[in-house]
Amino acid sequence: MSKKSSESNIIYVGRKPPMDYVLAIVTAFSGSEVKEATVKARGRAITTAVDAVEITRRKFVKEMIVDKVVIGTEEMPPREGESNSRNISTIEITLKRS
């Protein structure tokens, strides 16, 4: 589920290893006019998103800072055989180049 939207620089984190998303973040900041990117994840992918941001910040784009972190919950429809809807945690990490 890794997508990168060039117009708003949003990186969606899914099931791939963190280094795939590190590459996406570094690529998002490769343009000189790009000052901001957002990493979005939900559920179990949240840990991968945090890992990717921290690896990028500490090893590759040292001038990058975490500007804003938004956490929330999304209500998902019930899966087959389930009667109740599920709540899934979400995170949105906004990164800026200082």
- pTM of the model as a whole: 0.86
Q: What is the mean pLDDT of residues 66-77?
A: 95
CATH architecture of 4-97: 2-Layer Sandwich (3.30)
Distance between CA 63 and CA 36 in Å, rounded? 12
Residue 32 pLDDT level (bands cut at 50, 70, 90): confident
For every residue of 55-70, DSSP letters joined together read HIIIII-TTEEEEEEE
Task: Name the DSSP letter for residue 32.
Answer: T
Cβ–Cβ under 8 Å, residues 71 and 89 = yes
Sorted by where each begins, the domain ranges of the chain are 4-97
